[in-house]
Structures are given as structure tokens and as C-alpha cells.
Amino acid sequence: MENLMFVYRSCKVIWTLLVTMLGYASSLPVSDDSICTAEELAKYSITFTGKWSQTAFPKQYPLYRPPAQWSSMLGVTHSSDYSMWKKNEYASNGVRDFAEKGEAWVLMKEIEEAGEKIQSVHGIFSAPAISSGTGQTSTELEVHSRHPLVSFVVRIVPSPDWFVGIDSLNLCEGDHWMEEVSVDLFPYDAGTDSGFTFSSPNFATIPQDTVTEITCSSPSHPANSFYYPKLKILPPIAQVTMVKLKKNQLGLPAPYLNLPAKSNEIIDSVSETPLDCEVSQWSSWGLCRGLCRNTGTKIRTRFVLLQPANNGMPCPNLDEETGCEPENCV
């Protein structure tokens, strides 16, 4: 009887331990890609559409040396063990070089090393640059059931260290791949250069800051090229669309478009952004001119800092006159 009681107590202890361990395991976080049970491989066409027009972003819009344009796209399909870039985290040396100068060599090495060490990368993809602010470029990418996440970066040219991109977008939904997904893109600051405007000279941020989203009110500085305090949110500066290819489409080359927008299909969803006139402070008053013992006049002036656009507030008068008593009369 004692032996039976001992066996019973032992089984009870083991059972309690098992229940505790199972409960702990169920409380652990599940990574985004661990639950993908879709077919092993899927191919997508990816199309990047630039919406950086002078109508949508009139402030300091780059017209020359160089004009508004986009760098080539560099992307990767991967598991949750790898991250190309993340908001509110520090950019890697590779992302810094790409965002500041459009140089991809260091970023490519980082991707390759991650793939070799922890098998977190399935494939790298790239698409050609766009020579204007509005236009399209396309390529193909392949995802794997263990690597269903997509990340990429495209540099804003010209800019200090600004870019657009996607961080770890999951194309797998349980037991199937998404058929199509479109994402609006907004500008990010890599946190490695302190310039405020598109054409700012290179001025390293020391110490380095984290990657932050640029908004219509942040950085909160009138010199910021994206500073539109009257807007609640910036219009999207770009868009990316991924479409799953059917099996009979596999192996076909992706269409390549590198042309300025010729219809409203690219920018019709963007409303005109009004830009108010900005003027300088008044100069000091000039000399009082007029005859002695009579009321004279003196003038002060100011000049235009920023011309209005898209029905923004027009410029006020640039000179002002007032009465005065002539000095040094004989």
C-alpha cells in the first residue's frame, strides 16, 4: 500500500511539473514567421511608385543640382531573426552609408553575414533608381515559409540621410500567402546626419540618433524641408505594391518602369499642399527724407524667404513708409 501511495505522489508531482512547463511554454511570444504554414515558396512582383511632386511637397522642392529623384531599391526577404532597420533604433553602418550616400556595399555585407551566421536571410532583391520624384520601378522577390518577411530601403535624393522603406512586412497569413498588398511610404531620418533641408551640407550627428519618422511638424523647425505646420499629416511621398505571381507567371521578367508620371494614376490621391509666403524681418528705418520744417518720410523693407504655392497665403507688402522729422536741418 505504501508503495502505491509513493507511486501516486510521484506521478502527481510529475504531472504538476508538466502542466507548469506547458503553461510557461504557451506564454512565450511566438515570432511572426513561426506560424506560416503556406506553401514553401512564393514569388511577388514589387513596384515602387514615387509620389514626390512639387504640388504635394512644394517647400524647397529640388529642381536641379540634383533634381528630386530616388536611389535604387535594396531589399531582403528574411525571418524575424534579422532586421535591416527599425524605427526608434540605431541604424547600422550599412544603412547609414546607403541613406547618406546611396552606397550599398556595406549593407550588402551585413545582409550576407546575417544569412551565413543565423540563416535568417532567404534572398536579396534590388530595383533600378528613378530619375525623377514621380515615377515607378519594379522587380521580383521570393519569400519562403520560414522567411516570409520583406524589408527594403530607398534613399531620397537629394537629402542629408533621409529614406523611405518597409521594416519586416509579413506576406504570410497563416496557411496562405497574401495576394496583394499596398503600403503608403513616409520619409525617415536615419539619425546620422543633422541637416534640415534637402541640400544641407554633410554634418554628422554626434552622438548618433535613432531612426525617426519625419512628419509635418517634426523636426519642429521652420527650416525643415518637410515642415508644414498647417497639415495634420504629410501626404505619402511614395507607395509600394506587392502582387503574388501565379505559377504560370514565374520566370517572366518583371516590368521595368523608370519614367516620370504621365497620368494622374500616380499622384491623383495626393491633394495640393498649400504653402504660405514667408518673409524676412523688417530692416531698420532708413534716413528721413524731406524739406526742413516739414514732415518727411522714411522707409523700411523686407524680402521674400519663400514664395507661396498651391493657393497658400500671398506675400504681404515688402516696404513700409512712415512720417518723420528731417534731421540736421540748417
Residue 30 lies in a domain: no
Q: For the beta carbon of residue 327, count every other beta carbon within 10 angstroms.
A: 9
Q: Cα separations (Å) of 73 from 154, 182, 279, 282? A: 5, 16, 39, 46
Q: What is the pLDDT along the chain (330 residues), one digit of tens a residue?
A: 555 444 445 545 444 444 344 343 333 334 445 589 999 999 999 999 999 999 999 999 999 889 999 999 999 999 999 999 999 999 999 999 999 999 999 999 999 988 887 789 999 999 999 999 999 999 999 999 999 999 999 999 999 999 999 999 999 999 999 999 999 999 999 999 999 899 988 889 999 999 999 999 999 888 899 999 888 999 999 999 999 998 765 554 444 444 444 333 444 455 577 777 777 788 888 888 888 877 888 888 887 776 677 777 788 888 888 888 887 765
Structural domain ending residue among the three candidates 221, 244, 267: 244
pLDDT score of 330: 53
Same structural domain for residues 181 and 319? no
Q: Cα separations (Å) of 215 from 38, 75, 147, 230, 282? A: 37, 24, 31, 12, 30
Contact, 194 vs 159, CB < 8 A? Answer: no
Residue-wise pLDDT for 146-187, tens only, equals 999 999 999 999 999 999 999 999 999 999 999 999 999 999
CATH number for the domain including 296? 2.20.100
State how beta strands 176-177 and 180-185 pair.
unpaired
pLDDT score of 34: 58
Same structural domain for residues 174 and 299? no
pLDDT score of 148: 96
Residue 7 lies in a domain: no
Same structural domain for residues 282 and 240? no
Residue 110 lies in a domain: yes
Contact, 102 vs 223, CB < 8 A? Answer: no
Structural domain ending residue among the three candidates 195, 220, 244: 244
Same structural domain for residues 54 and 195? yes
Task: Please compute Rg for the chain using Cα positions.
Answer: 29
Q: What's the rounded Cα separation, in Å, for the pair 320 and 257? A: 53
Q: What's the rounded Cα separation, in Å, for the pair 272 and 279? A: 22
CATH number for the domain including 178? 2.60.40.2130
Same structural domain for residues 232 and 282? no
Same structural domain for residues 301 and 182? no
List for the chain the helix, strand, coil content (%; round to 5). 15, 30, 55
Same structural domain for residues 57 and 146? yes
Q: At what angle do helices 105-118 and 93-101 cross, to 10 degrees?
A: 150
pLDDT score of 271: 59
- Whether the pTM exceeds 0.85: the reply is no
Same structural domain for residues 127 and 194? yes
Same structural domain for residues 308 and 162? no
Element (H, E) at 166: strand 162-170
Same structural domain for residues 284 and 169? no
pLDDT score of 21: 42
pLDDT score of 250: 54
DSSP 8-class letter at 248: G
Q: What's the rounded Cα separation, in Å, for the pair 83 and 76? A: 10
Question: Number of folded domains in the chain?
Answer: 2
Structural domain ending residue among the three candidates 244, 270, 299: 244
Q: What's the rounded Cα separation, in Å, for the pair 152 and 102? A: 13
Same structural domain for residues 139 and 217? yes
Q: For the beta carbon of residue 253, count every other beta carbon within 10 angstroms.
A: 8
Quote the domain boundaries for residue 174: 42-244
Residue 153 lies in a domain: yes
Residue 22 lies in a domain: no
Same structural domain for residues 237 and 297? no
